[in-house]
């Protein structure tokens, strides 16, 4: 893939924080200024889609970088707390967890024989297919969540 894991993760971490701003501004307009539901109706789905895209990419980067389960879980969970993706990204970068490129080739490392690692390598060698599959998965989950409805409904 053209963009290294560090860059992709950073872009989505920032995008996730930006959409938190949109959502919080929408909630402020709805509940404090009382302009109606429209601000949240616009900002909510945007934030939801970017949230899911960030979570999918955090999972992919976690597998690629071989993060411990707790580190990957923290990366994904950081999207739940407003703006937490930014300090988590900074910590991951500072600790070297975002260093290196995409692992498209197998090495002598026994972990490279893991079925998940093999599948990820196959997909990383076909970036358009990977992006299409990730986008389809995020879109499908997004549609299901739209059908289920917002939290507290």
Task: Check residue 153 and give its pLDDT.
Answer: 59
Are the CB atoms for 61 and 130 separated by under 8 Å?
no
pTM, full prediction: 0.90
Confidence (pLDDT) at 58: 97
Q: Where are the domains of the chain?
A: 5-102
- Digit-by-digit pLDDT tens for the chain (153 residues) are 579 999 999 999 999 999 999 999 999 999 999 999 999 999 999 999 999 999 999 999 999 999 999 999 999 999 999 999 999 999 999 999 999 999 999 999 998 899 999 999 999 999 999 999 999 999 999 999 888 987 665
């Amino acid at each position: 893939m053209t963009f290294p894991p560090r860059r992709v993760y950073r872009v989505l971490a920032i995008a996730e924080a930006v959409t938190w701003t949109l959502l919080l501004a929408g909630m402020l307009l709805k509940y404090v200024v009382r302009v109606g539901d429209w601000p949240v109706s616009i900002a909510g789905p945007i934030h939801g889609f970017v949230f899911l895209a960030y979570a999918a990419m955090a999972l992919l980067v976690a597998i690629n970088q071989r993060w411990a389960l707790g580190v990957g879980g923290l990366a994904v969970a950081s999207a739940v707390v407003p703006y937490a993706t930014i300090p988590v990204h900074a910590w991951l970068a500072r600790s070297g967890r975002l260093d290196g490129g995409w692992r498209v080739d197998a090495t002598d490392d026994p972990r490279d024989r893991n079925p998940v690692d093999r599948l990820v390598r196959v997909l990383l060698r076909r970036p358009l297919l990977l992006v299409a599959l990730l986008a389809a998965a995020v879109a499908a989950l997004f549609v299901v969540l739209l059908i289920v409805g917002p939290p507290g409904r």
